[in-house]
Amino acid sequence: MTISAKPTSFILPDLVSHCKFPLSYHREGDEVAQQSVNWLDSNCPDLNAKQRRALRGLQAGELTAYCYHTAVPERLRVVSDFMNYLFHLDNISDGMMTRETDVLADVVMNALWFSDRYMHTKDQTKEELNPGKLARDFWARCIPDCGPGAQARFKETLELFFEAVSIQARARDEGVIPDLESYIDVRRDTSGCKPCWALIEYALDIDLPDFVVDHPVIAALNQGTNDLVTWSNDIFSYNVEQSRGDTHNMIVILMKYHGHSLQSAVDYLPSWGSEIDSMVERYVQGLQDWIVGSLHWSFQTHRYFGTQGMEVKKHRIVKLLPLHGDVVSDMK
């Protein structure tokens, strides 16, 4: 009986060469990105030195400059603040118990629904928690120029994000790894892409009618883009996540339930297609910018490959990180 050795690396699929969309960057992107990261850094007093380094290495503002490169600088700044904030929410919700994620959701959604003042409920503290203060800050700057339809879609989809995060937390609490279809359904909301699509409208100064947004073609475009961005992200983030013992990742599920090796799971990436019809075309351009922008940013940020992103982008070889000590202990 032979025991196959555990892999020590894997090769990324050549997503960059296959993505033919032109890559653009906002002319004031770097300046706005610096302002945005300073905003979050200065308004999060509880972050430690390591977390502050990670915040700046993330380069969420640069991702925004790729994906919303036609926005006026003022709107780019609002979107950039949300992007930094969204990753911040993702970081602080990782490891939370289900009850804690529900409290976080209530605090943030309270700031969006009651934007002019803090209206605490019986389950919330009299003093607004910091995530609520941050949400109220960027949302107050967004509302004056954001159409009612886009506002409603932003709030609705951010609520879906929190509901999915709660489902993810419950699975983590119970040690459950979902099947592929269940995972995809939840992942489309934990990705946080849907509120970002609503901000495409804000960035472009458009407000799509509901009948357009609900049209099957637009819905398919939104979902296809979400899947492509999200499943690519699962590949890029797998190395960091496996070292922490995280299981909310498609690669983990493909290996556990579908007989894939690490490399064959990485190579498994469903494809999608599209067609579409003057205002709608601009929105679709925004989705295209998200596909190409997020792809190239994934190698620029320090979140997934540290400072080796350009080298990984060139050679596509990812050397697996060692498991954290607490993860190794749990496996014994």
The per-residue pLDDT for range 128-155, each reduced to its tens digit, is 899 999 999 999 999 999 999 999 999 9
* CA–CA separation, 240 and 242 (whole Å): 6
pLDDT above 50: residue 1: no
Mean pLDDT of the chain: 88
Between CA 170 and CA 305 the distance in angstroms is 29
The H-assigned helical ranges of 20-147 are 29-42, 49-58, 60-67, 73-93, 98-113, 130-142
Residue 91: pLDDT above 90?
Answer: no
Of the candidate ranges 10-24, 207-221, 243-257, 277-291, the one whose mean pLDDT is the lowest: 277-291
What one-character-per-residue DSSP string does 218-269 give? HHHHHHHHHHHHHHHHHHHHHHHHHHHT---SHHHHHHHHS---HHHHHH--
Tell me the longest C-alpha to C-alpha distance in the chain: 68
Q: Would you state the structure tokens that stand for residue 118, as one six-digit string? A: 């803090």
Would you state the structure tokens that stand for residue 20, as one six-digit string?
């033919």
How far apart are alpha carbons 254 and 259 in whole angstroms? 7
Element (H, E) at 318: strand 317-319
Highest mean pLDDT among 38-42, 121-125, 174-178, 322-326: 38-42
**Nearest one of 260, 328, 326, 315 to 14, comparing CA atoms:** 315
Rounded CA separation 62/300 (Å): 9
Separation of alpha carbons 161 and 191, rounded Å = 8
CB 285 within 8 A of CB 71: no
Q: Is the pLDDT of residue 280 over 80?
A: no
DSSP SS3 for 46:
coil
